[in-house]
Amino acid sequence: MIHRFETIIVGSGGSGLYAALEASQRSQTAVLSKLFPVRSHTGAAQGGISAALGNVEEDKPEWHAFDTVKGGDYLVDQQAARILTDEAVQAVYDLENRGLPFNRTPEGRIDQRRFGGHTRNFGEAPVRRACYAADRTGHMILQTLYQQCIKNDVSFYDEFQVVDLILDDNRSNGVVAVELSTGELHIFAAKAVLFATGGFGRIFKITSNAHANTGDGPAICARRGIPLEDMEFFQFHPTGIKGLGILISEAVRGEGGILRDRDGKRFMEHYSPTLLDLAPRDIVSRSILTEIRAGKGIRGDRQIDDYIHLDATHLGKEVLRTKLPDITSFCQTYLGIDPAESPIPVLPTAHYAMGGIPTDDFGRVIKDDRGTIVEGLYAAGECACVSVHGANRLGTNSLLDLVVFGRRAGRHIGDYVKEVAVPSVSQDAADTASRWIEQLTDGQTGPHGGHIMEEMQTAMMENVGIYRNRQDMQAAMAQIQSLLERYQHVRVQDGSRVFNTDLLELIELRNLLDLSLLTAASALNRQESRGAHSREDFPDRDDDNWLKHSLAYLDNDTVRIGYKAVDTSIWEPKPRTY
């Protein structure tokens, strides 16, 4: 079946919905989502969205931009960071005007709290910059945008999983999707396609990410010849629930929570004397591991699964009830403890992809180091790399990225589609997807996809995690390549067509394998330590050789690396201390 639209948005998280809202003002727009829209992972975002509103203390977009650049260890494109932080203020007020129920100050303004790496006056001291709706900020953004999309007659195709991009020469002509309820393949021809498919934390064993975060957009683009930018930079959030990875928001430390070792000592004062527990995430995660390796974890056995304590007992029940209610209930449900009375056992968890599909400031996809635009193809949100997060994202800057760049891309699409015709796409555009699905469902028996997934996640967690070295990463690459070979023989266990989640998971598995390979190869290639990429064999940042973005091209289960310049037009790189 062929559907024709002017604009197709793939994904209904914060970025997809904001882009759809804008694009639908001037074009016939449809949103395709493998999940029901308000189940998108944006709904899990807890702590807040940053903007220099200055509601509770002095703040400026310029300080916010500087923190973003420094937090990203100078791999951030600086003009893009200025756009992010300048447009943040209006973006937050737009959300408020559209109905988002932010927490309030006693005077009725949007309340703001502290978050890691956000400072006043270029690093002097922490600043209250995160706007929040209790610890359900993402949930509120998602609900607000979804109801606005419904009001504006955006068409939704819920539970349609996109499996391929239709590229003709250098132009995007649409996508191919499987309808979950029937197993049928649909072609969506469109003048413009925007990928907003979210992150891919599922390449790792312990992650804060949902099962659906399988990086479908970036993997589809990579298989169609588009390079992925800065894939070596994957953020580990310092405070996941020990053993599970479920996130305990940085908002707990923003409200005054403290990380403690086995003797109850606050150890962050050794690593970040100014920002303490609110240092950027890469620094806090490494500090936790360093403590554990020194025998100062709570068990003290130096094992990889030892942990430390996040102490929120001094915050009081009222703060926990009004500002951190979900966190309180997670602790009760998953740990059987009340955070007002007992410290929370935590360990870093794989959290956020700084890298992804390269785009310009309007969300247009770039396909090489010369900045060549792929006509009609856009990306926004966590699957994209603008790049405003560089080597390490600051907390609350992702929700901001979704609304600022989702909105900019949606507006650009609105103009673009007026200049071009709907492409003529025929049924054979689905041939590649169709052959793939036929192979997976041809009735032969093969290895179990679940085992391949488990081995991939363990290899990535153990060898391409917080601390990295050549030997481990080479081992990970070899293992992923052998898993890709095994994948060629994998087959569905469930032969039906209706809601065949087995088939859809095998498709997602291929996406994760491709992204694991690209991540490991990019990490092995970068011979320095910067932000979240920390190499034991190259412990220093090396601006002379590595102040550049990497572009990883997927080529028949091997990876070729190219480079792209970083925009450092505002601030000179400096040593990064806090």
Ligand X SMILES: Cc1cc2nc3c(=O)[nH]c(=O)nc-3n(C[C@H](O)[C@H](O)[C@H](O)COP(=O)(O)OP(=O)(O)OC[C@H]3O[C@@H](n4cnc5c(N)ncnc54)[C@H](O)[C@@H]3O)c2cc1C
CB atoms closer than 10 angstroms to residue 83: 20
Stretch that binds ligand X, among 35-43, 256-264, 287-295, 452-460 (CB under 6 A): 35-43
Q: Which of residues 216-245 bind ligand X (CB under 6 A)?
A: 216
Q: Which two tokens stand for residue 20?
A: 């759809």
Contacts to ligand X from residues 132-171, by CB under 6 A: 137-138, 161-162
DSSP, residue by residue, 520-558: HHHHHH--S-BTTBEESSS-S--HHHH-EEEEEEEETTE
Is residue 14 close enough to count as binding ligand X by CB under 6 A? yes
Q: Which span (206-214, 336-344, 545-553, 559-567) binds ligand X, by CB under 6 A?
A: 206-214
Distances (CA, A) of 360 to 9, 129, 378, 380, 462: 18, 26, 9, 10, 34
Comparing CB distances to ligand X, the nearer of 186 and 526 is 186
Based on the shown chain and the rule CB under 6 A, indicate whether residue 359 belongs to the binding site for ligand X: no
Cα–Cα distance list, 546 to 233, 430, 525 (Å): 13, 40, 10
Catalytic member of 281, 286, 468, 491: 281
| 24 binds ligand X, rule: CB under 6 A | no
Which listed residue (15, 112, 392, 519) binds ligand X by CB under 6 A?
Answer: 15
Q: How far is the CB of 86 from ligand X (least distance, A)?
A: 17
Tokens standing for residue 167: 């590229």
Nearest residue to ligand X by CB is 13
Shortest Å, Cβ 5 to ligand X: 15
CB neighbour list of residue 19: distance below 8 Å, 6 or more residues apart: 9, 194, 196, 363, 378, 380, 406, 407, 409, 410, 413
Residue 87 near ligand X by CB under 6 A: no
Find the binder of ligand X among 306, 382, 514, 528 (CB under 6 A).
382
Query: Pick from 27, 33, 68, 285: which binds ligand X (CB under 6 A)?
Result: 33
| 281 catalytically annotated | yes
When the beta carbons of 78 and 209 are compared against ligand X, the nearer one is 209
- Helix axis angle for 216-223 and 501-525, nearest 10°, is 70
Name the residue nearer to ligand X (CB basis): 138 or 376: 138
User: What is the residue-wise DSSP string for 173-213?
Assistant: EEEEEEETTT--EEEEEEEEEEE-----GGGSSSBSS-TT-
Point out which residues pair with 563 in neighbouring strands: 550
Minimum distance, C-beta of residue 137 to ligand X, in the bound complex (Å):
5
Cα 477 from Cα 471, distance rounded (Å): 10
Question: Residues 9, 19, 32, 551: which binds ligand X (CB under 6 A)?
Answer: 32
In the complex, the smallest distance separating the C-beta of residue 75 from ligand X, rounded to whole angstroms, is 18
Least separation in angstroms between residue 504's CB and ligand X is: 9
What's the CA gap between 468 and 523, in Å, rounded?
A: 8
Cβ contacts of 302 within 8 Å, gap of 6 or more: 292, 293, 294, 295
Q: Which CB sits closer to ligand X, 11 or 390?
A: 11
Amino acid (1-letter code) at residue 566: V
Q: Which residues bind ligand X (CB under 6 A)?
A: 10-16, 32-35, 40-42, 44-49, 137-138, 161-162, 196-199, 208-209, 212, 216, 247, 352, 381-383, 396-399, 402
Catalytic positions are: 281
